[in-house]
Amino acid sequence: MAITTAWAGPALLSRLMSTPPPPPNVPSGPGGFQPPPGYQAYSGQPMTPQGNSGMAVASMVLSLVGIVPCFWGLQIPGVLGIIFGFIGLKQTKDNARKGRGMAIAGLVIGIILVVVAIALWVYILTSDNCVRNGSSFTCTSD
């Protein structure tokens, strides 16, 4: 009997040393399984909204670029800001993404810039003080 006990002792000792300690009382995840160490259990929370809408950001940036004086005559950034603003509003309609305020701001700034550019062109083309010299306009005040 002593021989069997001496033989089983080292095997039992090595088996006890190779198994990890039992985990602490952690709430179990779905299906009763515990998450691996360092991870939290899935709580079933709804997903948070994704990052900002890229179209909303593009609308805001392009509309702000349209403020630069070299674009006052031909307001391409303002027009693109309006287009991207409408797309950004559509993407942020159901709070699926953030950035609705940026889309609105880009849309409003773009509309203002396009209206001012149209008014500038109407003034230049209909004014008696502005004369076309080749590819440029010269406006004088009397």
Digit-coded pLDDT (tens) for 46-60: 666 578 888 999 999
Q: What is the largest CA-CA distance in the chain?
A: 124
Least confident of 6-15, 65-74, 117-126: 6-15
Report the C-alpha gap between 93 and 66 in whole angstroms. Answer: 26
Residue 118 has pLDDT above 80, yes or no: yes
- Give me the residue spans of the domains in the chain: 52-139
Beta 97-98 vs 130-133: how paired, if at all?
unpaired
pLDDT at 11 over 90: no
* Strand 136-139 versus strand 130-133 pairing type: antiparallel
Whether 111 shows a pLDDT value over 90: the answer reads yes
pLDDT classification of 44: cutoffs 50, 70, 90: low
21 versus 60: the higher-pLDDT residue is: 60
Read off φ and ψ for residue 27, nearest 5 degrees: -60, 140
Q: Would you state the pLDDT for residue 56?
A: 93
pLDDT surpasses 80 at 90 = yes
Q: Is 37 helix (H, G, I), strand (E, B) or coil?
A: coil
Using the predicted structure, report yes or no on whether residue 88 has a pLDDT greater than 70: yes
Give pLDDT, residue 47: 61
Choice between 79 and 21, residue whose per-residue pLDDT is larger: 79
